[in-house]
Structure 1
Amino acid sequence: MDKNNDSLDPRENNNPYDATDATERKGDVATPTNQDAAAQSIGAGSPEDLPDDTFASRSAVQQTVGIGRKTESGSFMFPAFDDHHPPEKDLIDDCVHCGFCLPTCPTYVLFGEEMDSPRGRIYLMNKGLNEEPMNDQMVRHWDLCLGCMACVTACPSGVQYDKLIEATRGQVERRYERTPQDKAFREMIFQIFPYPDRLRLMAAPLKLYQRFGVGDMLHKAGVMKLLPKRMRAMEALMPMLSEHHELPEVTPAVGERRRRVGFIKGCVQRVFFSDVNAATVRVLAAEGCEVVTPKLQGCCGALSVHAGREEEFEGFARKLIDTFENLELDNIIINAAGCGSTLKEYGYLLRDDPEYAERASAFAEKVKDVTEFIQELGPVAERNPLPVAAAYHDACHLAHAQGVRKQPRQTLKQIPGMEVREIKEAEICCGSAGIYNMVEPEPATELGDRKAKNVLNTGARMIVTSNPGCMLQIQASLKRMGHSMPMAHPMEVLDASIQGRPVESLLEK
């Protein structure tokens, strides 16, 4: 079995080792016949390390976690972590194993496996700190984490799982040898998506692909089924391209200037959702803000830091700080949830950099999600009616990572005629999660379909969400299920209201 196989489902017995000496399979229940081997199989050093009910019900993945000291390639990975920012023992010890995180964790909800829950992954981190070797199955459990941070919201003990998983992914990136295929696929992603100019080069052939219905022809001919699952996932997520909007470097405030703000365009957002950026700048101007949008701004590094690519992230972050710090801004505005959560953590993430640590903290203090900023500023632009029921989807890195929940809803509810409908299981991730839906297409698809069904059950006429990845993910699931529904960013909805456009301008998107 390929240790980085993107089709590995923890509910299937894809065990590269023969676990029959450790357990006898009886349906879905594993009965121990060799407790030392079984203890090792879930990362414990001995049976004494295990809770009493460990052997009650265990999956194939649990049977293979931590087996042996070698990876499948035969190389040793000992100890698991180096001395550069390993997951902190004090943060690990904050977890009291209460289980409040379990019903909010997407992978635990899907698989029901302890090691695919936050506390299970924390358990494996602790084993790594105790010099357990970093092995294939240990990494597999960490890879399956979406990094949605729903567990952070749910945790009564305040466990900072976000810091733990990001530190662990940095270790994995440095110390774990992925297969050549997996490494190449991930490298392709990171050579394209953080670079808007490279993304823009993809736009022209993508337009032709969509205009001439090439995708539909390939699907009908059965060609798509021959592609690897990851490539099929990328094709399914391709956005429908809209007209590109180039933003002026300075947009004056309408009426009296209340604030001078900088605007971060994002990468995917500026190339594939430039209409969202244009709407955001118009709304900010209508609310009395002078908007400064530097033309030569790069990636914020969110995708990189979430994947453990620390040096790459730091390079992006330093350049973005250089771009904005001398513009005499009151605030720095972002409209993409995944970017915003990283931007607000610049001070922590660059804490070791003697030249940038203080500057990064000053930068981060100015960062606001656009709905958060508008509600704090106090809206003044007139809202015109938009009589429509909209389902609001919480982007994880807005709701969980930034704690911004009520502000997007307030922004929508301040529009006359707008009805905001809540989605069942709002805390469960849609499966987008940065690059997750490309590198882990199977669980991502299952989560996307689950979210799409809950959206449809609201009976709303449109979906509103604050993250481009969520938009693509939910749209792909709806299409796969034979449905379609208009989707918009809160700023597009608010812009339509302020501009006095009819609700059909949103419903016909």
Structure 2
Amino acid sequence: MGSLTTENGLLQKFDMDEIMNCMHCGFCLPTCPTYVQTGLETFSPRGRIALMKGVANGQLPIDDEFEKNMNACLGCRACETACPAGVPYGGLLETAREVAQDHKKTIEKPSRIRNLVFKHIFPHPKRVKRLGSLLWTAQALGLQSFADRTGLIRILPREMAEMQKSIDKVASPRKRKTRPHIMKAEGQKRLTVGLFTGCIMDILFYETNQATARLLTKAGCDVVFVEDQGCCGAMHAHSGEMSGAKELAKRNIEAFERANVDFIVNNAGGCGAALKEYDHWFHGDPVWEEQAARFVAKNRDANEILAELPPLTFSKSLPVKVTYQDSCHLAHGQGVRNQPRQLLRSIPGLELVEMKHPDSCCGSAGTYNLTNFDMSMQILDGKMEQVKETKTCMIVTSNPGCLLQMKQGIVRAGLQEQMEAVHIMDLLDRAL
């Protein structure tokens, strides 16, 4: 009886009104990377929504097959852009994964690795920083290159062994500790903004965060590195750990409220999409809904705010041909498409060449390239064929996960000598 009551409680989490809004028209099918790769209906948004409906109605069990079909989705949300009915597929997917995980926890204990990641590492910023320091130490001692040269890297799982080739040198602990709390605006001050530094972003892409801050100061912003902020919660939410995601969100809401900034700026498409959805996460919550709505109203992607501020003044020409890879969560999740292109075209000498489907997923999708490696690489290899057709020497993107994935794509395609992948903030900073 207790188990049945628990299961009924889980099923009530589904929003049946939104599930029923799906007209099964099929407009989503050609936009879905996993459906394009497999042709399987259960690997399409329409098919997954049908499975959600069956589970929510009690006609299908919450079993391993349901979990597998939900986890096979990249969560790229291209289907949302294509959907004529405006079905919020991303939210439905998060609910389905939460239901699957909560049900699983009634049957078996979560694995040690899952507990380690979601309970003991990412909710604790100091521990994330310590891991960053360990990585810096390994790089400084030459252990990473030694493992590559000797083949020791093969002791790692294949997906991690391939990914590590894309990781550049991380900033030293000393460099991170000595960063000033505030970077002052150059010239006339227009705004005070808080930079959302992220968790992994501030380790693997510390210099990108610094470049973003420099760009904002040149555009007239005081930039505050807000204390006590942490992980955005996206990884938890996408993995069915919604209660953990909300705890992380509460910490960020409170930290930025105390900072009292005009806007909250981030440079990671995936993080930004999560930050802008805090109000949905707390919908109906009598304590947090209003605070979450205020937090969301202040959030801007770095491309958004730089495009709104007076144009940056570039000191030199950058004669280079580039192609732009849209971050799924920036383009489909936040609707930010034109601003990055506007900024790129403002760089003197730069030529932007669009690929066939710049807003199709690269296969990164958070941790998807680790949990669904083969599918991720199939999608990436197809994306690299589009990149090759542009005959450019640079792939520009606006998300750290996409950046790592595109670097990996360059290596897989054997284009290391003729192409690089760059975050748009780094490229703008380079041009200045």
Please give the residue correspondences for 1:31-430 in structure 2 after superposition, counting only pairs within 5 Å: 82-83=9-10, 86-131=13-58, 132-177=60-105, 183-190=111-118, 191-193=120-122, 195-207=124-136, 209-210=138-139, 214=143, 218=147, 227-229=156-158, 231-232=160-161, 235=164, 238-242=167-171, 244-245=175-176, 246-382=178-314, 384-430=316-362
Offset of residue 457 of structure 1:
2.8
Structure showing greater Rg = 1
Task: Give the 3-state SS of the residue equivalent to 1:325 in structure 2.
Answer: helix
What is residue 451 of structure 1 aligned with on the other side?
383
- CA distance in structure 2 between the aligned counterparts of 1:440 and 1:418, rounded to whole angstroms: 36
Task: Give the 3-state SS of the residue equivalent to 1:315 in structure 2.
Answer: helix
- CA distance in structure 2 between the aligned counterparts of 1:257 and 1:219, rounded to whole angstroms: 48
CA shift in 2, pair 1:125/1:239, >3 Å: farther
- CA distance in structure 1 between the aligned counterparts of 2:216 and 2:381, rounded to whole angstroms: 34
User: Which amino acid in structure 1 is aligned with residue 115 of structure 2?
Assistant: E
Moved more, 363-372 or 163-172: 163-172
Q: Is the 8 A contact 1:194 1:299 kept in 2?
A: yes
Moved more, 198-207 or 236-245: 236-245
What is residue 490 of structure 1 aligned with on the other side?
424
Offset of residue 313 of structure 1:
1.1
- CA distance in structure 1 between the aligned counterparts of 2:106 and 2:38, rounded to whole angstroms: 24
TM-score by length of 1: 0.77
Q: Is the 8 A contact 2:226 2:259 kept in 1?
A: no
Q: Is the 8 A contact 2:11 2:56 kept in 1?
A: no
Offset of residue 292 of structure 1:
1.5
Offset of residue 186 of structure 1:
3.0
Offset of residue 404 of structure 1:
0.4
Task: Give the 3-state SS of the residue equivalent to 1:391 in structure 2.
Answer: strand
Q: Is the 8 A contact 1:196 1:271 kept in 2?
A: no
Offset of residue 337 of structure 1:
0.6
- CA distance in structure 2 between the aligned counterparts of 1:203 and 1:227, rounded to whole angstroms: 18
CA shift in 2, pair 1:410/1:196, >3 Å: same
Q: Is the 8 A contact 1:261 1:329 kept in 2?
A: yes
Q: Deviations over 1:410-434 (max 9, x none)?
A: 0110111111122233232111111
Percent identity (aligned): 39
Q: Deviations over 1:344-373 (max 9, x none)?
A: 111111124322210110010010001111
CA shift in 2, pair 1:419/1:193, >3 Å: farther
Task: Give the 3-state SS of the residue equivalent to 1:423 in structure 2.
Answer: coil
Offset of residue 384 of structure 1:
3.4
Moved more, 174-183 or 376-385: 174-183
Q: Indicate which of 432, 441, 456 corresponds to 2:364.
A: 432
Q: Deviations over 1:187-244 (max 9, x none)?
A: 3433434544323323344345446665566567665556544554554554443564
What is residue 26 of structure 1 aligned with on the other side?
none
Q: Is the 8 A contact 1:466 1:489 kept in 2?
A: yes
Q: Using CA pairs below 8 Å that are at least 6 residues apart, which structure has the higher relative contact order?
A: 2
- CA distance in structure 2 between the aligned counterparts of 1:194 and 1:234, rounded to whole angstroms: 23
Task: Give the 3-state SS of the residue equivalent to 1:290 in structure 2.
Answer: strand
Task: Give the 3-state SS of the residue equivalent to 2:193 in structure 1.
Answer: strand
Q: Is the 8 A contact 1:78 1:134 kept in 2?
A: no
- CA distance in structure 1 between the aligned counterparts of 2:188 and 2:53, rounded to whole angstroms: 56
- CA distance in structure 2 between the aligned counterparts of 1:206 and 1:357, rounded to whole angstroms: 38
User: Which amino acid in structure 2 is aligned with residue 94 of structure 1?
Assistant: N
CA shift in 2, pair 1:388/1:357, >3 Å: same
CA shift in 2, pair 1:181/1:215, >3 Å: farther
- CA distance in structure 2 between the aligned counterparts of 1:156 and 1:346, rounded to whole angstroms: 25
Q: Is the 8 A contact 2:228 2:251 kept in 1?
A: no
Q: Is the 8 A contact 1:79 1:128 kept in 2?
A: no
Task: Give the 3-state SS of the residue equivalent to 1:482 in structure 2.
Answer: coil
Q: Is the 8 A contact 2:330 2:337 kept in 1?
A: yes
Q: Is the 8 A contact 1:81 1:128 kept in 2?
A: no
- CA distance in structure 1 between the aligned counterparts of 2:410 and 2:305, rounded to whole angstroms: 31
CA shift in 2, pair 1:472/1:189, >3 Å: farther
Task: Give the 3-state SS of the residue equivalent to 1:422 in structure 2.
Answer: coil
Unpaired segments ≥5 residues, structure 1: 1-75, 499-509
CA shift in 2, pair 1:166/1:433, >3 Å: same
CA shift in 2, pair 1:239/1:369, >3 Å: same
- CA distance in structure 1 between the aligned counterparts of 2:412 and 2:5, rounded to whole angstroms: 44
Offset of residue 496 of structure 1:
2.1
Unpaired segments ≥5 residues, structure 2: none
User: Which amino acid in structure 1 is aligned with residue 396 of structure 2?
Assistant: V
- CA distance in structure 2 between the aligned counterparts of 1:224 and 1:180, rounded to whole angstroms: 33
Q: Is the 8 A contact 2:262 2:298 kept in 1?
A: yes
Task: Give the 3-state SS of the residue equivalent to 1:464 in structure 2.
Answer: strand
- CA distance in structure 2 between the aligned counterparts of 1:482 and 1:214, rounded to whole angstroms: 24
Q: Is the 8 A contact 1:230 1:440 kept in 2?
A: no
More helix by share: 2
Q: Deviations over 1:465-497 (max 9, x none)?
A: 111111111212322333323222211122222
Q: Is the 8 A contact 1:341 1:397 kept in 2?
A: yes
Q: Is the 8 A contact 2:66 2:100 kept in 1?
A: no
Offset of residue 403 of structure 1:
0.6
CA shift in 2, pair 1:467/1:181, >3 Å: farther
